Structure formats: structure tokens, C-alpha cells
Amino acid sequence: MLIAGNWKMNTDLPRGVELAKAIADGIDDADSAFDAIDFAVCPPFVHLQAVGEVLEDHPVAVGAQDVHSEDEGAYTSDVSAPMLTSVGCTHVIIGHSERRQYYGETDGEVNQKALQAHRHDLVPIICVGETIDQRRSGDAKSVVHAQLEGALDGLEVTAADDLIIAYEPVWAIGTGESATPEQAQDMHAVIREDLADRYGADVASDIELLYGGSMKPHNAADLLSQPDVTGGLIGSASLEAESFLGIAEEAAAVLEG
Ligand code: PGA
């Protein structure tokens, strides 16, 4: 079970460090309650090193929110995989719907970034998800299927922890209206099947499939108790340690049965 925070373009450096410290303290205070939970936080680029230092002795991976597909070059404002690994980053979100929507990121670009992440031993957290119009017209599954097909082209996955997929229906992100547990499970089962076709059932069965889109402490247990929902990619509720760890508490309770 992986509980991952996507801070997006929020927090200045002092606030980001404070948030990381509060998460670290909360995990310490919980003693062994979170032993079965994996954590990750994805702060803005400029906080990665400082947040990494705060979390160094804690079981919280640090991820970026994007990566360029080239190692270096004349790409003003972009950040490369070697830069990320040099500040201790281990994960990277790729193809978030906000990147697709505001920057026109295509499945092909998502694929290039995922391949680049692997070349540098970064675990890609690949985001997929349909818009409300696509859901209403009954195309949600084919849209997600096509996004996966594009994103995973040529991407070798031999162990389950080489890849994380986040299903984030666009209509649920930041709206307060999460998918129902059934909608999430339905789509996660489709994703799991796609991964099994591509990588074999053994590997696919252990790949983390995160749900993202208005996950909060109050709805986390229902979502996370679905068999193929093995974690959350959390936006606004990850900006307060209390709500982020509140979701982790729900996850721990689900695991305990
Ligand atoms: P949200 O964002 O939890 O604020 O809906 C999730 C995401 O976009 O990763």
C-alpha cells in the first residue's frame, strides 16, 4: 500500500520543509502503526533537496512531479533525470492530467519520459484518467487503455516495483467529488489486466495501482479496500500532515482488516 502526496505548485520552501517535518514526526509518533504502508511525497522541484534531507531517515520516498526526456541540453526551465537523482529523488510523476491539459503533453511524450526515468533508475508514477465527457460517452475504459498503451510502449518491467500507475479521473481531481469505490475498482481491474497482458500476471499482480482524485480521510477506507486499489495519489489532502496521515491511518486499518 503506497500513500503518495502530490504537492503540485503549492508551498514555499519554509512551508514545504515544515510539512515534511510534520509528516516525519507523525510517522515517528505512530510507532509501528504505519509499518505496512509505503510513503512518497512529490514536492515542487525547488524543494526536493531540502525535503529529501528532512525525510532522509524516514520511510518516505521523495519524487518529482515531472522530468524531461533528455539528459541535458538547451531546454530552458526543464529538469532532467540526472538532476533529480543527484538530489536523492527516487520517483517521478509522469503524465499528470494537469501536464496533459495545460501543456499539451501527449502519450508519446509520457512514454519518452517513462523510458528516461527507467534509464536513470527512477520509478515512474504514470498517471492516466478520462475526462467527464469521455466517461459520459462510455469511452472511459478505452481512453485509459490507449493512454497505457502509449505510455508503456517499449517500457521493460520485470519487477513490480519498476512501475506505479495512478488512475486519476480528471473530473475527480480537485473537485471534492471522488470516483465511487466501484468506479475506481472497475478501472483498476482493467489496468491490472492490461499490465498482466504486457508484463505477465505475476509481475502485474504486485504493481501498485494508486487512485487519485479527491481522496480524503473520510473516503479513503472505502476506496483503499477495493482489491485493485493499492494506494492513493493525493493532492490537496497531502498539503496538511494531519489529512495526509489521516489517509495513511485509514490505509493501515484497511490492511489490518
Ligand atoms: P486532489 O489531486 O487530491 O486534490 O484531487 C490529486 C492529483 O491530482 O494527484
Write out pLDDT tens, residues 7-28: 999 999 999 999 999 999 999 9
Atom of ligand 1 nearest to the CA of 6: 9
pLDDT at position 17, please? 98
Beta-bridge mates of residue 63 = 91
Q: Is the pLDDT of residue 45 over 90?
A: yes
Q: Which of 190, 3, 26 is nearest to 91 (CA)?
A: 3
Share of the chain above pLDDT 90, in %: 99
- 96 as an active site residue: the answer is yes
β-strands 123-128, 231-234 pairing: unpaired
Q: Is 3 in the pocket of ligand 1 (CB under 6 A)?
A: no
Phi, psi torsion values for 135, nearest 5 degrees: -65, -45
Using DSSP's 3-state secondary structure scheme, residue 98 falls into helix
Q: How many whole angstroms separate alpha carbon 84 and alpha carbon 222?
A: 34
Q: Residue 22 C-alpha to ligand 1 middle, in angstroms?
A: 20
Atom of ligand 1 nearest to the CA of 214: 5
- 168 as an active site residue: the answer is yes
Which of 6, 11, 91, 125 for mutating ligand 1's site (highest number of atoms within 8 Å of CB)? 6
Q: Which of 95, 201, 193 is nearest to 151 (CA)?
A: 95
- Mean pLDDT, to the nearest integer, of 186-215? 98
Contact predicate 227/239, CB 8 Å: no
Q: How many whole angstroms separate alpha carbon 13 and alpha carbon 83?
A: 19
Confidence band of 31 (pLDDT split at 50, 70, 90): confident
Which of 96, 233, 239 for mutating ligand 1's site (highest number of atoms within 8 Å of CB)? 233
3-state helix, strand, coil in the chain (%, to 5): 50, 15, 35
How do residues 109-155 score in pLDDT, each as one tens digit?
A: 999 999 999 999 999 999 999 999 999 999 999 999 999 999 999 99
Domains with residue ranges and CATH for the chain? 2-256 (3.20.20.70)
Task: Look up residue 55 and give its three cell numbers.
Answer: 525525510
